[in-house]
C-alpha cells in the first residue's frame, strides 16, 4: 500500500485530522467524491455525532465525502469495492492472484463502472493497485 501523496491529498488529510481528530494516510478521489480510509475502530469517531464531521468536511471542500474502513486483506476486497462504487452495482467479483475481475451484469451497470471517458475505470484501477497490488478488469 505505498502511494505517493500529492499536495491536494495532503490538504484533505490535514483537514480531516483537524476536524475528526483521527489520523489517516489514505485518501483518494473517485467519481467527484473524496474517500477517506480509517481503521475499523476509528470509523464511528471519524463520522461524529449524527455525521456532523462528515457534513462539516463536505461543506468546507464542497464535495461529497465518504469514510470507509481500511481493508485488512484481499478477503475484504469485495466489500471495499462495493462501498466505493455505490450506488452503482455489479453482479459478482472474481479475485485471482494477479487481478480482480468485476462482472458488471448489464450494459447500464458496465457503463456506470466505466464512466465517461473511462474515468471511473482508471480511478478504480489505481485504487485497486494501491490497496491490493492487483490489476482491475471489468467483464
pLDDT band at 98 (very low <50, low <70, confident <90, very high): very high
User: Cα separations (Å) of 96 from 2, 131, 134?
Assistant: 21, 15, 9
Pick the CATH number of 7-69 from 3.30.300.30, 1.20.58.100, 3.10.180.10, 3.30.300.20: 3.30.300.20
Averaged pLDDT for residues 127-136: 91
Report if pTM > 0.85: yes
Question: What is the residue-averaged pLDDT of the chain?
Answer: 90
Q: Give ranges for CATH 3.30.300.20 in the chain.
A: 7-69, 74-138
Q: What is the pLDDT of residue 45?
A: 92
Name the class of domain 74-138: alpha beta
> What values do phi and psi take at 90, rounded to 5?
-140, 160
pLDDT, tens digit, 9 for 90 and up, residues 29-50: 999 999 999 999 999 999 989 9
pLDDT, tens digit, 9 for 90 and up, residues 4-28: 778 988 999 999 999 999 999 899 9
Q: What is the pLDDT of residue 2?
A: 53
Amino acid at each position: 500500500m505505498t502511494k505517493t501523496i500529492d499536495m491536494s491529498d495532503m490538504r484533505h488529510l490535514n483537514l480531516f485530522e483537524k476536524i475528526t481528530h483521527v489520523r489517516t494516510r489514505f485518501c483518494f478521489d473517485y467519481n467527484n467524491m473524496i474517500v477517506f480510509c480509517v481503521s475499523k475502530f476509528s470509523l464511528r469517531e471519524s463520522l461524529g455525532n449524527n455525521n456532523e464531521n462528515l457534513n462539516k468536511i463536505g461543506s468546507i471542500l464542497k464535495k461529497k465525502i465518504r469514510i470507509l474502513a481500511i481493508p485488512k486483506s484481499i478477503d475484504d476486497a469485495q466489500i471495499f469495492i462495493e462501498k466505493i462504487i455505490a450506488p452503482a452495482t455489479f453482479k459478482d467479483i472474481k479475485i485471482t492472484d494477479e487481478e480482480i475481475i468485476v462482472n458488471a451484469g448489464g450494459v447500464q451497470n458496465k457503463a456506470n463502472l466505466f464512466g465517461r471517458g473511462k474515468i471511473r475505470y482508471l480511478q478504480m484501477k489505481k485504487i485497486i493497485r494501491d490497496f491490493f497490488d492487483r490489476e482491475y478488469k471489468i467483464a
